Amino acid sequence: MSNSYGKLFRITTFGESHGAAVGVIVDGCPAGLDITSEEIQHALDRRRPGQSDITTPRKEEDKVTILSGVFEGKTTGTPIAMVVNNKDQHSHDYSHIAQAFRPSHADYTYTAKYGTRDYRGGGRSSARETVARVAAGALAAKLLQHYGITVQGYVSQVGSIKLRKPYQKLDLSQVDSNKVRCPDGKTAARMIGLVEQARDSLDTIGGVVSCVVKGVPAGLGEPVFDKLHAELGKAMLSINAVKGFEYGSGFEGVKMRGSEHNDQFYTDEEGNIRTRTNNSGGIQGGISNGQDIYFNVAFKPVATILQPQTTINDAGEEITLQGKGRHDPCVLPRAVPIVDAMAALVIADFLLRQKVNKV
């Protein structure tokens, strides 16, 4: 079941980087939800390769085809199958690594686990698999929209360049206004310059995607092992190249005392229970408390670099390997819609689970 995620809103993805197609089956989506292929396509366009000079030049239109589960613009309640054909594979770019283990890639671990591997672009371990997640996430986001819930990710750090403003002081409608997807123009320009430096030196660089989920009602999450923040962490850490996850005050919270960190409750003028601060990140006891949920996701530098590196082949012999092909110098701009998608999938699943928890 390692290719499936979710309990009630459940997805199963399939396909390889250089196979015929990648796709997803979504089971458990309620009937009657308005959805069009154009809405799915919009999410995929934000993730697709070749969208700027700081992403991979691989040219894939990522055209989605909905095979089932949608009729006359509405979900039918039956499994929804979506597929995206691969069209711009350059499999010959990977012939030089057919017997080599690339540093920090999954080549060795896949071989250790399965005894074989698809070396063309990493096969199933490639981030190409996330096309399926983004397609499913667009469907989940449409369901959340029906309940007034929004998910918005953005790039908050590239290398050592960090966006210092809290999300409350950002205009998140500006996320797509530049090619690095940072909502602050001045910081974005510095980030773009750093990515370009890494690209021009045949290297790569990592950073952080932050995400804010607004409108989540209190009560989502399942104690003890399916805590909401634990599932968000699992979802984010399942994304290629992710090395860390923190929510709320995160690691900065260790510098505070309890008297500073505690979120005090009050009742607002409309009679709603609120907290004066939100160090909890909208989650307490593994259950949403109605405040904004916010978290950070750390991405490592892309493992494929176009510089010579020492490694070994499958015979254990030391060799020198130099990356070839078309790769992102920084994964962050294209990672934003992936983070959005996984967050939407988690919240959608818990939303449906909550509806069967009480009368």
Q: Which residues are documented as binding site? A: 47, 124-126, 240-241, 285, 300-304, 326
Distance CA 143, CA 345 (A): 10
Give the pairing type, strands 287-288 and 74-75: unpaired
Buried b / exposed e over 326-349, threshold 16 CB at 10 Å, is bbbbbbbbbbbbbbbbbbbbbbbb
Task: Specify binding-site residues for FMN.
Answer: 124-126, 240-241, 285, 300-304, 326
Residues whose CB is less than 8 angstroms from the CB of residue 243 and which lie 6 or more positions away in sequence, other chains included = 206, 298, 299, 300
Task: Specify binding-site residues for NADP(+).
Answer: 47
Q: Which helix (H) or strand (E) holds 132?
A: helix 130-146
Q: What six digits make up the tokens of 128? A: 């190409």
Q: Which of 11, 16, 4, 12 is nearest to 116 (CA)?
A: 16
Distance CA 278, CA 301 (A): 31
